[in-house]
Amino acid sequence: MGGVDAIRIRVAPALISAALAAGLLFVSFGIGRAVAREQLAMAGLAAILPGLILLFALLAGSHRVVLVYAALGLAIWPGGIASKAIGFGGLVVTVPDVLVLLAFGSWLAALLVQPGDNPIPTPRTLLLGVPLVLLGVGIGQALIRGHDAYGVSLIGQPLRIVLYAGIAVAMVGVTAERLYRGLVWVLYLGTVWQTLLALYLIATGGSQTDALTLSSGGTRILALSTAMYLAGALVLALLNLELEKRPGLRILHLGVAACALFCVIVAYGRVTYASLALVLLLLFVTRRGLRKAAATYIPVLVPALVIAVVLVPVFAPNLFPTLVSRITSPLANDTSYQWREQAFSQTLQGVQGQEVEGVGFGQTTSFATMNGTAVTRLSQDPHNSYLYLLSGGGVFTLSAYLLVILLAFVEAWRRFRSAATEHERALLIWAAATLFIFLVNALAEPVLTDPRLVLTIWALMLASVVVPLRKVAPSKDA
The residue-averaged pLDDT of 390-396 equals 91
Specify the pLDDT at position 82. Answer: 64
Specify the pLDDT at position 396. Answer: 94
Q: Using one digit for the tens of pLDDT, what is the confidence trace for 138-153? A: 999 999 988 888 888 8
Q: Using one digit for the tens of pLDDT, what is the confidence trace for 294-330? A: 888 888 777 877 887 777 777 778 888 888 888 887 7
Q: Using one digit for the tens of pLDDT, what is the confidence trace for 225-270? A: 999 999 999 999 999 999 988 888 999 999 999 999 999 999 999 9
Helix (H, G, I), strand (E, B) or coil at 129: coil
Question: Dihedrals φ, ψ of 94, to 5°?
Answer: -110, 165
Share of the chain above pLDDT 70, in %: 78
Higher-scoring residue by pLDDT: 436, 363 = 436
Specify the pLDDT at position 186. Answer: 93
The yes-or-no verdict on residue 167 having pLDDT over 80 is: yes
Nearest to 255 by CA among 223, 309, 303, 202: 303
Do residues 467 and 419 make contact, with C-beta atoms less than 8 angstroms apart? yes
Q: Using one digit for the tens of pLDDT, what is the confidence trace for 452-463? A: 999 999 999 999
Is residue 28 within a helix (H) or strand (E), and if so which, with residue range? Answer: helix 2-36
442 band by pLDDT with thresholds 50, 70 and 90: very high
Q: Which distant-in-sequence residues (6+ apart) come within 8 Å of 265 by Cβ?
A: 323
Computed over every residue of the chain, the mean pLDDT equals 80
Domains in the chain: boundaries = 2-125, 126-173+331-470, 175-329
pTM: 0.85
The yes-or-no verdict on residue 477 having pLDDT over 80 is: no
98 band by pLDDT with thresholds 50, 70 and 90: confident
Specify the pLDDT at position 13. Answer: 46
Q: Which distant-in-sequence residues (6+ apart) come within 8 Å of 120 by Cβ?
A: 107, 110, 111, 114, 172, 173
Specify the pLDDT at position 284. Answer: 94
